[in-house]
Amino acid sequence: MGLLDLFRRTPPSAHVAKERLRIIIQQERDRRGGGSPDYMPLLRRELLEVIRKYVNVDPAAVQINVEREDGQEILEFSVALPEKAR
Amino acid sequence: MTEIIVVTSGKGGVGKTTTSASLSCGLARRGKKVAVIDFDIGLRNLDLIMGCERRVVYDFVNVIQGECTLKQALIKDKRLETLFVLAASQTRDKDALTSEGVRRVFDELVADGFDYIVCDSPAGIEKGAHLAMYFADRAVVVVNPEVSSVRDSDRILGLLSSKTKRAENGGDKVREHLLLTRYSPKRVATGEMMSVGDVKEILGLDVVGVVPESADVLAASNAGTPVILNDGSDVSQAYQDAVSRLLGETVPLRFVDEPKKGFFARVFGG
């Protein structure tokens, strides 16, 4: 690292890698571990259809997760709206 | 008691064979009787890394198909008294390997008083990889601190907890360990590479070893000498530490931090 590099900071890519992995691995574990109920893919598809009646969202913008905490199950659902939704 | 260890990863080229060779040598050096078996049918390579490629007469599939005895096929290492290599077959198709055949070979090794059977798994999640892990008591999951390798190893963890004999019997699980290879403390320090802690957290495994990136690995494979035998090198010491941990000893992690640079080196580059 030279003098110039001290002033030229880019966000560390390792952090990005970790976040991406955290999400995809959680999803894949849920999918295979019987972690998520088997209606999940259908629920995801139908929700997507409903949302698309109103907003044209990308399928990848819809995230559904079942999380377990202290014996409670939480269905987490998030949709990232496109910049010009209307 | 014989312990069966599978060295696995999902992804290819992360260092399974290098790791299998070095862990086997390390265990043998500690006085254990070890058989290391190449499960990569069709793509034999362990023999090259172990440096015994010219001494392969019979292989794993020959034994399974009853064309020779296990004793004839086991290649005794020239450096270590208690280490034996069982090569993979190069010519036959993968279906030559059967679960029943593998079990028979393992039973015979157990009866012969082997302390460890180390199974060098092929890449992928096909039959060879499945059979390599099926009878395992422990698994060493070899991972590069890189996204595709980490994701593939998580697939392997899923298989270890569902498609192994221990999983089917519902008893104790296969004990899983993380072994990171090609680790660069320098790049971790600059945020370009995920750290041991990151990978450990994502996969939820205990760390059995961290092997630094080093030119010594290629030099060792060129020479056919498992890199653990190159005693002066960092890689060798990292593998020796991993062997100690497999044997239940507590050893601090080495080679995970970058040596501190002085002020001038930092400002003017070094």
User: Each residue of A3-55: pLDDT tens digit?
Assistant: 655 565 566 899 999 999 998 998 888 777 655 566 777 888 888 888 889 88
For B268, the closest of A3, A13, A17 (CB atoms) is A3
For A3, the closest of B151, B155, B267 (CB atoms) is B267
The count of CB pairs under 8 A between chains A and B is 52
Identify the bridge partners of residue B116 per DSSP, sorted by sequence position: B3, B34
CA B164 to chain centroid, in Å, comes to 18
> Is B108:B101 a contact under the CB 8 Å cutoff?
no
Q: Tell me what pLDDT residue B196 has.
A: 96
Question: Under an 8 A CB cutoff, do A28 and B190 touch?
Answer: no
CA distance to partner chain A, nearest, from residue B256 (Å): 15
Q: Tell me what pLDDT residue A85 has.
A: 47
CA distance to partner chain A, nearest, from residue B200 (Å): 11
Each of the 270 residues of chain B gets a pLDDT tens digit; together they read 999 999 999 999 999 999 999 999 999 999 999 999 999 998 999 999 999 999 999 999 999 999 999 999 999 999 999 999 999 998 767 678 899 999 999 999 999 999 999 999 999 999 999 999 999 999 999 999 999 999 999 999 999 999 999 999 988 999 999 999 999 999 999 999 999 999 999 999 999 999 999 999 999 999 999 999 999 999 999 999 999 999 999 999 999 988 766 666 666 664
Q: Tell me what pLDDT residue B226 has.
A: 97
For B194, the closest of A3, A17, A29 (CB atoms) is A17
Mention every residue, 6+ apart, whose C-beta is less than 8 A from residue B3. B115, B116, B117, B137, B138
Question: Under an 8 A CB cutoff, do B158 and A32 touch?
Answer: yes
- Taking CA–CA distances from B150, the nearest residue in chain A reads A21
Q: Tell me what pLDDT residue B258 has.
A: 80
Q: Tell me what pLDDT residue A72 has.
A: 75
> Is A21:A29 a contact under the CB 8 Å cutoff?
no
Question: Under an 8 A CB cutoff, do A13 and B192 touch?
Answer: yes
Q: Tell me what pLDDT residue B259 has.
A: 72
Tokens of B195: 């750290």
Residue A2 has pLDDT above 70, yes or no: no
Q: What ipTM, to 2 d.p.?
A: 0.81
CA distance to partner chain B, nearest, from residue A21 (Å): 7
